[in-house]
Structure 1
């Protein structure tokens, strides 16, 4: 996925394809392990075109990809960051075969929140999905206590509720699956068009309810693959990726 038209240094291509550090690749070239278009490469800094030139490492064809897109079913207990000094991050769940891509999470889910999280190294697409101007819808499933959750709550969310810091949310769509009440939890789906800090939890606090379980099930056109176990991930299909891209 991703189209590469420009030339680039051979060592950059190989490093980005998982063949080691620049210094390791320099040694690889020096011992004659790299061929470009049938000839042994002599300089790890030579220019190559990933679309047009055939590069082999010890006889194996190098397949270069500029961008990678992973759908992760985030489990609780992991923070949506590339590094953290206290808690494990979502990148700790990703296998080493993707380590050279410098992946990052697109947006964030709270540490205790589960569900759909997109990981990529495509900064342009991430910006399109996260830009406040784009109003990309995000849908969550939640269990809520303090119910019942009813039509008044749906109307309040549709009009926008005032959060604890005074911010009034954009209109949101509340779908009540089970209203709850009398000691039972409500089950709802909520679609919001923005991504303020702890927004879903704070919206329910604004109507005197409490979110006790939260799971993101979709973001834009991308829906969580329910065959993915908690902590599992897979690459997006071409169809899924096309649906995410701006028209």
Structure 2
């Protein structure tokens, strides 16, 4: 018979143990669920195996592998992701990931705040503050993300207008909030594209629908935070004011 679920203290707020571990910045939600199912997590000295087992984080003692769980120090990083690097904790095909760039830094578990596909580069945030991360990535916040995009050919005003009007692709309406021509050469051009929502391969799909090939895609800003002169493959801690400026909840 499974153990009785804790009744909690009157007025206390309970959440599933896997969610609580994630909120404490110990690991990702999926890692927490796997640890619970493997019998590695205890609540008040008692092993639980249900990821939804309700606990009050401020009243009950959680442990992982027999070690008391404490809230991890909140970490907020900006990283300049190089092209060809995968945004994943592990890759089944053995490709390099952003975590290889952090390997010797002595940091706690961090999760990516949003995504950049393998071929894209530029500003990527990482943090173990899941509430802060959710406030940045949730579509309802409409936080601007700015990209510099090199395209083949020289897109005319009609293409730029169509990007802002939007293209329907299946159930998705792909559109840009703003588009501007940065510079043009004989064979290619650079656009500045601002999105206030992000779907999978959003810009690439939008331009492909308009018959335009993307040669490079670099995220240069998230809200007020700019990539600046951070070198490729390098990272830095955000300061308190930058964290506050990006906080959406």
TM-score, normalised by the number of residues in structure 2: 0.68
Distance apart, 1:190 and its partner CA: 0.3
Distance apart, 1:153 and its partner CA: 1.7
> Where does residue 142 of structure 1 map in the other structure?
149
1:209 matched to 2:212? The reply is: yes
Distance in 2 between the 1:95 and 1:83 partners? Answer: 12
Distance in 1 between the 2:184 and 2:168 partners? Answer: 22
Change beyond 3 A, Cα 1:107–1:46: closer
1:105 matched to 2:112? The reply is: yes
Secondary structure at 1:66 match in 2: coil
> Would the aligned equivalents of 1:160 and 1:172 in 2 still touch at CA under 8 Å?
no
Distance in 1 between the 2:239 and 2:68 partners? Answer: 33
Computed over aligned residues only, the root mean square deviation of the Cα atoms, in angstroms, reads: 2.3
May I ask how many residue pairs the two structures share in their alignment?
Answer: 184
> Would the aligned equivalents of 2:180 and 2:191 in 1 still touch at CA under 8 Å?
yes
> Where does residue 172 of structure 2 map in the other structure?
167
> Where does residue 197 of structure 1 map in the other structure?
200
Secondary structure at 2:139 match in 1: coil
**Which consecutive residues of structure 1, in runs of 5 or more, have no partner in the other structure?**
1-15, 17-43, 51-63
Change beyond 3 A, Cα 1:108–1:46: closer
Distance apart, 1:179 and its partner CA: 4.0
Q: Per-residue CA shift, 1:66-87, capped at 9, x if unaligned?
A: 2101110001121111221221
Distance in 2 between the 1:154 and 1:116 partners? Answer: 24
- Within-5 A mapping of 1:73-112: 73-86=80-93, 87-99=95-107, 101-112=108-119
Distance apart, 1:211 and its partner CA: 0.4
**Which consecutive residues of structure 2, in runs of 5 or more, have no partner in the other structure?**
1-25, 27-65
Distance in 2 between the 1:95 and 1:166 partners? Answer: 39
> Would the aligned equivalents of 1:150 and 1:179 in 2 still touch at CA under 8 Å?
no
Change beyond 3 A, Cα 1:133–1:45: closer
> Would the aligned equivalents of 2:163 and 2:207 in 1 still touch at CA under 8 Å?
no
Secondary structure at 2:207 match in 1: helix
> Where does residue 248 of structure 2 map in the other structure?
246
Distance apart, 1:225 and its partner CA: 2.7
> Would the aligned equivalents of 1:72 and 1:234 in 2 still touch at CA under 8 Å?
yes
Q: Per-residue CA shift, 1:123-159, capped at 9, x if unaligned?
A: 00111111111111111111100x3212212211221
TM-score, normalised by the number of residues in structure 1: 0.68
> Where does residue 191 of structure 2 map in the other structure?
188
Q: Per-residue CA shift, 1:160-185, capped at 9, x if unaligned?
A: 1223x3521244211101244xx510
Distance apart, 1:241 and its partner CA: 1.1
Change beyond 3 A, Cα 1:149–1:97: same
Aligned partner of 1:229 among 228, 231, 241: 231
Distance in 1 between the 2:165 and 2:68 partners? Answer: 60
Aligned partner of 2:130 among 96, 99, 123: 123
